[in-house]
Amino acid sequence: MDYFNYRDGELFAEELAVTALAKEYGTPCYIYSRATLERHWHAFNDAFGEQKHLVCYAVKANSNLAILNLFARLGSGFDIVSRGELDRVLTAGGDAKKIVFSGVGKTSAEIRYALEVGIRCFNVESEAELERIQELAAAMGKIAPISLRINPDVDAQTHPYISTGLKENKFGISIERAEAVYRHAADLPNISVQGIDCHIGSQLLTLSPFMDALDRLLALAERLEQQGIQIHHLDLGGGLGVRYNNEKPPEPADYMRQLFTDERLKRYEILVEPGRTIAANAGILVTKVEYLKRSDYKNFAVVDAAMNDLIRPALYSAWQEIIPAQPRTAGELETFDIVGPVCETSDFLGKDRDLNIQAGDFLVVRSAGAYGFAMSSNYNSRPRACELMVDKAQVYVVRARENLEDLWRGEAPLPA
C-alpha cells in the first residue's frame, strides 16, 4: 500500500492534491511520500524481530539527501557504491559505522576515504581489489573490515540487465574461488574478515533464488569456520521485487520468514540492502500532456517528461502504471503511446495505454521512487526535474528544478 490515492476524483499524495502541486512547482516533477518511505523501511526492519540485523538502504535507488536523512533518523545503515554516495550519506547524517561499500570498481581514492571515515565493511568484488585494500590499509596503518561478495551462480529469474549472480556476470567472486580467497584474506595483516556478502539481482519475484544463494552462503560459512575463519555477518543484498503492474512479489515479512526457516541463519548478524522495495512505490513522476498526436496508425500523447527523467522504460522495457491526476468524467478512452520530447525512438514512458486525456492534463507515472531521478540525465540539454517530499499536508522542495546555467556549469569555450 502507498499513500497515493484518488479522493473526490483526483489523485492525492498523502494530504495534498497532485494537480495543485504540479501547478505550483511545475512539471516534470517527482513527488515522494514520507509516510510510505518510512513504512517500507519499517516493513524490512521490523520483520527481523529480535534477530540481530542491519537494514542497509541501497543508496543508488534514490539518493536524495532528504530521503537518506529520513532513514538516518530511523537508525538505518546504507549500502553505497561510490565516494559520491558515501558523502551523501554522511552529509545526510548517516553513521559511517553502518555503511557497507559495494561495487566492482572502487578506486584507491575511494578506498582511502572509506578507511578514513571508518565504514562498517567493504564488500570486496575481486581478488585484485582485496590486494589493493590491503596495501592502502597498510599504508594508512588501518585494519580494513571486509566481506567477499560471492557470486553464487544462481539464476535470479529477472531481466538479464539486472541479474547479477550468474557466473558470467561481472559481480563478485565465484563461489568456487571463495574459500581460497577467504583463506588468503585471513592471512593478510591489514584485513579483518567480517562476513559474507551476496546480491544476485534486482526485482526478484520469487524467493527460491534467494534461498538457493543462501544455502550456498551458509555452506561456505561452515566450511570457513571449520578452518578457523570466523564469520560474523551475512549480507544478503537487496533485490526483492515490487508491484509495478500485476506482479505479486513476496512482502519483506514473507521473505524474512522464509529465510529464517533455515535455523543456521540465526547464528549471524544479518544485513540486507533493499533499494527498490523501499523507494519505488513511495514516489511518482508527474508530467503534463503537451500535445495529442493522432493518426490512423497510432496515437501519441507527447508529454513534458522524457527518458532523461525516467529511463527504465527505454532501458529495460519496464512497465510502469500511468494514470491521470484528475480523471475526466466525459469523453472516451483512446489508446496512446506516452512519449517524451527527446530525439530517440526509445523515448517512451508507456506504450498502448488506454486513457481519456486532453492536452494540458497531468499524468502520473507510478512506482517511480526508485531508479527514477537517480538515473536521470541532462540528455538533449534538459534541466533535471524538481523533487518534492510530501509529509501529510506539508510539501518540501527536496531538490530544486535545475536551471539553464546548471546545464553548462563547468564548461568553457576555448580561448579566442
Ligand X SMILES: Cc1ncc(COP(=O)(O)O)c(C=O)c1O
Smallest distance, ligand LYS to C-beta of residue 415, A: 41
Strand 233-235, strand 269-272: pairing: parallel
Instruction: Please identify which of the residues 29, 198, 343, 386 carries the catalytic annotation.
Output: 343
For CA atoms 3, 4, 6, 10, the dihedral sign is positive
How many CB atoms are located within 10 Å of the residue 177 CB?
Answer: 15
What whole-number distance in Å separates Cα of residue 314 and Cα of residue 253?
Answer: 32
Smallest distance, ligand LYS to C-beta of residue 67, A: 16
Select the span of 28-36, 178-186, 272-280, 331-339 touching ligand X (CB under 6 A).
272-280
Q: Does 61 bind ligand X (CB under 6 A)?
A: yes
| Interface pick for ligand LYS out of 312, 366, 382, 384 (rule CB under 6 A) | 312
Nearer to ligand X, 27 or 82 (CB): 82
Cα three-residue angle 329-334-338, rounded to 5 degrees: 105
**Binding partner of 312, given ligand X, ligand LYS, none, CB within 5-8 angstroms per partner class:** ligand LYS
Q: Does 77 bind ligand X (CB under 6 A)?
A: no
Question: Annotation-wise, does 344 bind a ligand?
Answer: yes
DSSP state letters, 218-243: HHHHHHHHHTT----EEE----B---
For CA atoms 95, 96, 100, 101, the dihedral sign is positive
| Interface pick for ligand X out of 88, 120, 276, 353 (rule CB under 6 A) | 276
Q: Does 40 bind ligand X (CB under 6 A)?
A: no
Question: Annotation-wise, does 32 bind a ligand?
Answer: no
Question: Annotation-wise, does 25 bind a ligand?
Answer: no
C-alpha cell at 63: 539518493
Smallest distance, ligand LYS to C-beta of residue 408, A: 27
Q: Does 239 bind ligand X (CB under 6 A)?
A: yes
Contacts of 31 (CB under 8 A, 6+ apart): 13, 18, 21, 283, 284, 286, 387, 388, 389, 390
The crossing angle, in degrees rounded to 10, of helices 83-91 and 65-73 is: 60
**Binding partner of 310, given ligand LYS, ligand X, none, CB within 5-8 angstroms per partner class:** none
Smallest distance, ligand X to C-beta of residue 252, A: 11
Say if residues 199 and 150 touch (Cβ distance below 8 Å).
no
**Contact footprint for ligand X (CB under 6 A):** 58, 61, 79, 102, 199, 202, 237-239, 273-277
**Contact footprint for ligand LYS (CB under 6 A):** 60, 162, 202-203, 312, 371
Residue numbers annotated as active site? 343
